[in-house]
Structure 1
Amino acid sequence: MSAGTLTPSTREHRLGPVAQIPVGEGRTFDVDGEQVAVFRLRSGRLHALSAVCPHRGGPIADGQLDEQVVLCPLHLNAFELATGCSTTGAEPLRRYAVRLDGDELVVTP
């Protein structure tokens, strides 16, 4: 788990190089006291969601994912990467804006 650096004027958090997240996986970061899962898809797209499943606190970044959803590794609740909405009836996850600045990940709450 890594801590993000806050840029005061924009509330952007710089998380470090994108290479720290293997393609097709997610990693958890601390962003302003919140746990955020950042996913690097095989297509190159990035998504960021709350890192804790609302059902039983499962680690979302450790879940299986494809281009559209991530599955909580504990009870297989599915969440849309683009929206955080559950496809299995669980409460939604919070979605965060994420982008690259060069090769550095930047998340905005």
Structure 2
Amino acid sequence: MQVTYSWTRVCDVNDIPPLGSRVLERADGNVAIFRTAQNAIFALLDHCPHKGGALSQGIVHGESVTCPLHAWNIDLASGEAKAPDEGCARHFPVRVDDDGSVFVSLV
């Protein structure tokens, strides 16, 4: 089964600080868009699965983000909490075009 995405342009890669994030505000939950040191881009619901901390305010390291409230480590690619913690933040598909435009599929 082929998946069809509906893409929303969010920003340029350079609008996201390295090892940082940018927040896309939405009525049904903000989306945090992260940039790693290697310029990989990921998008997660800006809500830690533990107690709802804003992941966008966390520390990005490798391909993970540490929640600022209780130091849970969340995998940026899957949204899964790393052991021993359990839970998952919703992740969103991301596309970066050759010109540096960042797109997220919010459907």
User: RMSD in angstroms over aligned alpha carbons?
Assistant: 1.9
Q: Is the 8 A contact 1:69 1:79 kept in 2?
A: yes
* Whole-angstrom CA distance in 1 between matches of 2:17 and 2:31: 16
Q: Which amino acid aligns with 1:56?
A: K
Distance 1:16 1:85 in 2: 25
Q: Which runs of 5+ in 2 are unaligned?
A: none
Q: How many residues align?
A: 101
Alignment of 1:103 with 2:95, yes or no, is no
Gaps spanning 5+ residues in structure 1: where?
1-8
Shift of 1:32: 7.0
Give 1:33 deviation, angstroms.
3.5
Between Structure 1 and Structure 2, the one with more strand by share is 1
1:28 to 23, 28, 45: 23
Q: Which residue of 1 aligns with 2:64?
A: 69
Q: Which residue of 2 aligns with 1:50?
A: 45
TM-score, L = length of structure 1: 0.81
Q: Percent identity?
A: 30
Deviation at 1:57, TM superposition (A): 1.8
